[in-house]
Structure 1
């Protein structure tokens, strides 16, 4: 494969980017309510894949036994990742708070599928976040990732699928739906979901974009907003046409979408950290 398709870093280094928004974990550790903690953990799970936005280059494959270590005293954690299997390629990582507040660990086994003009990556492997103070363990699996136009045209990326975050200590769950692009690109990057307690009662709605920000809102306010939205002219019978990588005919990247429409009564959970100027040019230099 031509080296131009690669980023000048290894997959083990890319894994460390999951920790870009570590402040969300610190915030979750400080909250007393389990539903509030779940909201922030869900925002962290979304933020962990946000660095992939417009990152269509392929990291270099690590050698078996290769490791990468990162210590961020300013963020209060240390991380080590290792290539633990060559075939199939499996990377494992473990991040730990310097103050013994949390541990974040998991393994990644990307299963690739080629669909002619696109590559679909299924990120097999489970992420586990342990909040030691609260004696809680959360697990989830990352969404599907698809890179379009690998042969001809402008490369662009989307993520889709259902992500279920489980608090194994309390029984709370967060179900997140990473929406596929759709026929006209209206759903590109959108994420919607809800939090339910151990009795399966819905408590909060979470929405936003994995490339931008995530908000939380009480279920009753969300339902009221949706009812008023229908009354103001949206067509509930409009057909939602979704697509995946398989069998698609159009691979044109949709136009840049509008920012997230904030529903009254919503609380901001997370906003992406702006990238440095000219970062797109810097990452391509080898």
Structure 2
């Protein structure tokens, strides 16, 4: 589904990424895709940084990476986020946070990728009382900041992501540096977590996996969840998209419950003492039939809005007009290069509009929003 605004900046909104059986991502996949991808990376050495490679539109989803990050927060059916703050005790709240964190992952299609956001690009969407704002605060290296607030539930999120993809001959691994912070303001609890790695396998067979270890820690409650995302083995799909982990007391390392399941199906917790099993995440309930955002007030859509910046490229991809898509994308990328040269010639540093950004070897990239609350957006998710 595509929504185009009739007044103000021309905006294109596509359906959110969903479960594979419902996704239309396959419509964008090119024939002989593996051969083309291998050809694309034939001149790239193992270990190379891929952040500066510009993919042709044939390999792009009709949306920016900012939209993909944003969708993982505002596109979900059941209200898992508000549930995080309603648990009767800190353990129940952590279980809900674990379930919510799993819901931010989406099954991805091999061979297509979102656009690399340009510097200063933004994405601003609201769903009921939840308002989400993202900004590309650095281009090289690519760094995305996210701020989301829900004044009704008194919840705040701050993310700072720096994806670092590298080519290793038979696969591409993307480590997502940076942290996510979920704040339950009514409970005065802060949950700090990292992200799994995205692995694109080229050989011996193509595929996309989320793998690696994730930690979700709440210092205020002295509780922590350790999760391990596993992918398919070389010889079989056993364990494909499985997730295992535990919730324990940080100070004593005493395990309270075990976590098991598959992040694209169902995930449960099992109490160590009682043996009671509870489902904390159901992918079909959460990600099926999600609604496409719509433009509520096109007159106030920012010129930096992702769905405006990439509108012509997205429309051309959807209509399979590859020549026009290539031309439109080249114009955007050339303007980006010209702005970069101009800043360099004037010795100017880019200053983000909505965030203060810092970097250190110890902590990596960190972002602080300029405003306490994110305002209502001109783009909304129907409820």
Give the TM interval when normalised to the shorter protein.
0.7 to 0.9
The residue number in structure 2 matching 1:175 is 226
Q: Which residue of the other structure, out of 4, 7, 14, is the alignment partner of 2:68?
A: 14
In our comparison, the structure showing a higher alpha carbon Rg is 2
Mapped pair 1:26 → 2:82: yes
Instruction: Report which of the two has the higher share of helix.
Output: 2
Q: Which residue of the other structure, out of 92, 101, 114, is the alignment partner of 1:59?
A: 114
The residue number in structure 2 matching 1:117 is 170
- How far is the alpha carbon of 1:117 from its aligned partner? 3.3
Residues of 2 paired with 1:11 and 1:2: CA distance? 15
**Deviation per residue, 1:121-174 (Å, 9 max, x gap):** 10111010000110000011110111122xx89742111111111002122100
After superposition, the Cα gap between the structure-2 partners of 1:55 and 1:70, relative to the gap in structure 1 and judged at 3 Å, is farther
Residues of 2 paired with 1:172 and 1:56: CA distance? 39
The residue number in structure 1 matching 2:236 is 184
Structure 2 residue runs of 5 or longer lacking an equivalent are 1-54, 293-314, 320-383
Count matched residues.
235
Within a 5 Å distance, the mapping from 1:1-286 to structure 2 comes to 1-19=55-73, 20-21=75-76, 23-49=79-105, 51-54=106-109, 56-73=111-128, 76-149=129-202, 155-182=206-233, 183-198=235-250, 199-220=252-273, 265-272=276-283, 273-276=286-289, 285=318
On the 8 A contact 1:53/1:211 being kept in 2, the answer is no
**Deviation per residue, 1:59-86 (Å, 9 max, x gap):** 111111111100111xx30000000001
TM-score by length of 2: 0.57
- How far is the alpha carbon of 1:276 from its aligned partner? 4.4
- How far is the alpha carbon of 1:103 from its aligned partner? 0.5
Residues of 1 paired with 2:274 and 2:237: CA distance? 27
The residue number in structure 1 matching 2:4 is none
Structure number with higher relative contact order (C-alpha < 8 Å, ≥ 6 residues apart): 2
After superposition, the Cα gap between the structure-2 partners of 1:131 and 1:207, relative to the gap in structure 1 and judged at 3 Å, is same
SS across alignment from 1:4: helix
- How far is the alpha carbon of 1:102 from its aligned partner? 0.5
On the 8 A contact 2:181/2:193 being kept in 1, the answer is yes
After superposition, the Cα gap between the structure-2 partners of 1:175 and 1:6, relative to the gap in structure 1 and judged at 3 Å, is same
On the 8 A contact 2:110/2:200 being kept in 1, the answer is no
- Bigger mean CA deviation after superposition, 210-219 or 16-25: 16-25
Displaced runs of 4 or more, over 6 A: none
The residue number in structure 2 matching 1:249 is none
SS across alignment from 1:185: coil
After superposition, the Cα gap between the structure-2 partners of 1:87 and 1:276, relative to the gap in structure 1 and judged at 3 Å, is same
After superposition, the Cα gap between the structure-2 partners of 1:17 and 1:154, relative to the gap in structure 1 and judged at 3 Å, is farther
On the 8 A contact 1:173/1:196 being kept in 2, the answer is yes
